[in-house]
Homo-oligomer: A and B are copies of this chain.
Amino acid sequence: MPDKVTIATVAAHAQVSRQTVSNVLNSPHIVREETRRRVEEAIAALGYRANQAARQMRTGRSQLLAVRIEPTRDGINGSVLDRFLHGLTFAAAAAGYRVMLYTADDDGDEIKTFDDLLASYDLDGFVLTGTDHGDVRTLWLAERDVPFVTFGRPWDAPERHSWVDVDNADGTAQATRRLIDTGHRRIAFIGWPAGSGVGDDRRDGWQRTMKAHDLDPTGLDRGTADSIPNGAECARDLLTMPDAPTAFVCASDSLALGALQAAGGRTAVTGFDDTPVAQAVGLTSVSQPLPDAAARCIDLLIHHLDGAPTGTHQVLLQPSLVVRTTA
């Protein structure tokens, strides 16, 4: 078996010193063209790979990012999480970083994990999915100057830190516009109770679009906890109105599925998130550009890691409506 290849092996093979090899890797511009080529050939010939642990010990940087994985949660639910994670891992790898996972029961537990990961693994940064109002985790990280980006904006203070988000209002606006274009006039909204940033934003997109087309949204708005039965109940309730709606814009695929069941195919329905369920039953749904969102998260994080920590950056991405059979 071949002995392990270190920077010294490469140096000997290329007839230069260790430092020159290190320079070829980290500051190629200060090495003479010919020498550089010779070293690069030695690296290729020997199959040398820099030992991360040794590098990390000296530089204090691990090239490691961490993301929390949760079985289910509001911010970003199960069916989209894996696509987001894939995007993150892919984008991180392209930038020379790796993604590590961690779990946590609650915010306090998560902060303990931050501390742990930073102390023993020297993590370079975190990606958080979903933030609450007055999130203690972001405060903790900011206090310690730990680089992080959230997927989902902080609703109470948009410029407090860097984030990437999808324009929820634009998503429901697209869905509403599509329904108006196909002839609907009485379009109802089935969403969550007021108070959640994401939910309010989705409701807002529907409401604004209705008004922009001189349609009155009054009385066509319902708020309930996210589940299929609740969606069905709201739909049934709306359908018993005197001037019943002919279409439902829903804040989630779950609610949309309930509405579909209650309406029995006679009413147009749109969902949100384009989950596998939507694909399976042919539900028209708003799709989030997850690979793109993940890539932008990595961009922002790397920017914080490499460049000067001057200010925060925000990225708002546009979703797209996937039209299927229900609208």
Which residues of chain A have a CB within 8 Å of any CB of chain B?
Answer: 47, 49-54, 56-57, 62, 64, 69-71, 78-79, 81-83, 85-86, 89-90, 93, 98-103, 116-117, 119-122, 228, 253-254, 257, 275-277, 280-281
Contact = CB atoms under 8 A, between A and B. Distances in A.
B103 A90 contact: yes
In the A-B complex, the 8 residue pairs with the smallest Cβ-Cβ separation, listed nearest first, are: A49-B119, A53-B56, A89-B101, A53-B57, A53-B53, A49-B120, A99-B101, A277-B280
B120 A52 contact: yes
B52 A70 contact: no
A89 B71 contact: no
30 contacts: A49-B119, A51-B119, A51-B122, A52-B53, A53-B62, A53-B121, A70-B86, A71-B82, A71-B86, A79-B276, A82-B82, A82-B85, A85-B101, A86-B103, A89-B101, A89-B102, A93-B102, A98-B100, A98-B102, A98-B121, A99-B100, A99-B101, A100-B101, A228-B280, A254-B280, A257-B280, A257-B281, A276-B276, A277-B277, A280-B281
Say whether chain A's binding surface is mostly helix, strand, loop, or mixed. helix
Contacts of A253: 280
B82 A78 contact: yes
Given A52-B120, A275-B276, A281-B281, 6 more contacts: A49-B120, A51-B57, A81-B82, A85-B85, A99-B101, A276-B276
Contacts of A228: 280
A230 to B, nearest CB: 13
Contacts of A53: 52-54, 56-57, 62, 121-122
B69 A85 contact: yes
B89 A69 contact: yes
Nearest to A99: B101
Contacts of A99: 100-101
Contacts of A103: 86, 89-90, 93
Nearest to A113: B93
Contacts of A98: 100-102, 117, 121
A105 to B, nearest CB: 10
Contacts of A101: 85, 89, 98-101
A34 to B, nearest CB: 27
Given A49-B119, A101-B101, A254-B280, A78 B71 contact: no
A88 to B, nearest CB: 8
B69 A121 contact: no
Contact of A86 (B47, B69, B120): B69
Nearest to A258: B280
A215 to B, nearest CB: 30
A52 B89 CA distance: 22
A281 B122 CA distance: 45
A152 to B, nearest CB: 17
Nearest to A59: B53
